[in-house]
Amino acid sequence: MEHIVIAGKRGLRGEVNINGAKNAAVAIIPAAVASASVCVIDNLPHIEDIVSLVDAMTKLGCKCRFINRNTLEIDSTGVTSVTADFDSIKKLRASYYLVGALLGRFGEAQVLLPGGCNFGTRPIDQHMKGFEALGAAVAIDHGMIKAKAAKLTGAHIYLDVASVGATINIMIASVYAEGTTVIENAAKEPHVVDCANFLNILGARVKGAGTDTIRIKGVTELHGGEYTIIPDQIECGTFMLTAAATAGEITVRNIIPKHMDSVSAKLSEMGCKLTEGSDFITVRGSDSLRAVNVKTMAYPGFPTDLQPQMTTLLCSANGTSIITETVFDNRYQYITELRRLGCQVTVDGRIAVIEGHNRLTGASVTATDLRAGAALVIGGLCAEGVTDIGNVKYIDRGYERIELNMQRLGADIKRVSE
């Protein structure tokens, strides 16, 4: 078992190149199954979720080859199975995109129910409703999602919640559906747009991604293509919040600043100085940041995936901050771990109240999920003394060796094996 050990140090300084977006990559890789051809996907992050997905794709009959560390060639011509029941995808949330891709191409899919981080109940009813509207019979049976259709036909689908997963999944499945599919109340996250752009490169006809209404005109064939994944909004935000929390100065490069607007706005409100260019942002923190209130929302609101890192930052702000988590019903499980570092946070349902200006001290803590792990890294950097973080496997699911980038910024952080 691996641990991350941090000797707290303020004032991280330097530049970080942000990797390709995890949540775009885990949608685009399964979407390649829909094409029955060769796709080359570039700017992939080298993280555990990608390794697990590539394993699943290979077992389905795709030929997957890493051309280099961040570029993957997928030849899905010879897919031989519509059943994905592999151990490798048990911990993945994004395994559900294989349902959309296999159902769209073969009219049938059987995929293990998704895993992923535990933020309370994470239903997939909107995915199923969408597939059913396209004409599929969908059931959950023995822990698997089973979907089957003699033919998929375009439909008008109104999502009850603007779910990222349901929007992308229905979009992928409906690429071959006869006629036009309309998804209303669609999610607008950057990775929804990225997946739509990828499908369009292959010959799909998807319009409106990034707005509330997405229209997909069915086609009879997708060809292969090359695609470069967008930068990771959440990795970028993690380093921006690290700059603020450690009162340092960090430039995040290879990013799309527009995707960061909600984060930049909060950091400015707290008193950080930000400089923005076409593909970079520099964040300069200070020792006297103001407390703020934050409400997580679907894009373009403040991302729920940065909520734990923001909570940690607010522990060192002057005054009391309130975070309201509106996306998930149980995303504060990590607070118990944060308290071990001396953070004063109380939670009531979806609301966390953070008493700022705490003196954090190092402790032995455990990552309870991916972004909670990132929050503990930030906490450890801010704390006096040594912090030891267990369950690093969660952090590795979404960050490519987070400790190496932190080291380049001057952090005293290392990975150790037990």
Binding site for ligand UD1 (CB under 6 A): 23, 26, 93-94, 122-127, 161, 163-166, 187, 304-305, 327-328
Residue 170: CB minimum distance to ligand UD1, A: 10
Nearer to ligand UD1, 164 or 263 (CB): 164
**Joined tokens for residue 181:** 């599919």
**Joined tokens for residue 18:** 């942000």
Nearer to ligand UD1, 8 or 308 (CB): 308
Match 């190092």 to its residue by tokens: 362
User: Could you tell me where the beta strands, DSSP code E, fall in 199-358?
Assistant: 205-207, 214-217, 225-228, 249-253, 273-276, 280-284, 293-296, 320-325, 344-348, 351-355
Residue 143: CB minimum distance to ligand UD1, A: 17
* β-strands 144-148, 108-112 pairing: antiparallel
CA–CA distance, 18 with 234 (Å, rounded to integer): 10
Active-site option among 117, 236, 343, 382: 117
Task: State which amino acid sits at residue 16.
Answer: V
Nearer to ligand UD1, 214 or 360 (CB): 214
Residue 234: CB minimum distance to ligand UD1, A: 7
CA–CA distance, 141 with 113 (Å, rounded to integer): 9
Question: Which DSSP helix (H) or strand (E) runs through 137?
Answer: strand 137-141
Residue 218: CB minimum distance to ligand UD1, A: 23
Active-site residue flag, 117 = yes
Nearer to ligand UD1, 122 or 290 (CB): 122
Nearer to ligand UD1, 233 or 358 (CB): 233
Q: 3-state DSSP call for residue 415? A: strand
Nearer to ligand UD1, 122 or 148 (CB): 122
Residue 359: CB minimum distance to ligand UD1, A: 31
CA–CA distance, 290 with 253 (Å, rounded to integer): 26
Match 């959440």 to its residue by tokens: 234
Residue 284: CB minimum distance to ligand UD1, A: 28
Sign of the four-CA dihedral 307, 309, 315, 316: negative
Residue 145: CB minimum distance to ligand UD1, A: 11
Nearer to ligand UD1, 137 or 161 (CB): 161
Residue 299: CB minimum distance to ligand UD1, A: 7
Q: 3-state DSSP call for residue 13? A: strand
What is the Cβ-side half-sphere exposure of residue 315, based on CA atoms within 13 angstroms? 31
Residue 190 preceded by cis peptide, ω within 30: no
Nearest to 195 by CA among 223, 172, 212: 172
Nearest to 25 by CA among 230, 200, 177: 230
Nearer to ligand UD1, 37 or 185 (CB): 185
Q: In terms of C-beta distances under 8 Å and separation of at least 24 residues, what long-range contacts does 111-114 make, across chains too?
A: 111/83, 111/84, 111/85, 111/144, 111/145, 112/84, 112/85, 112/86, 112/143, 112/144, 112/145, 113/140, 113/143, 113/144, 113/145
For the annotated catalytic residues, the residue numbers are 117
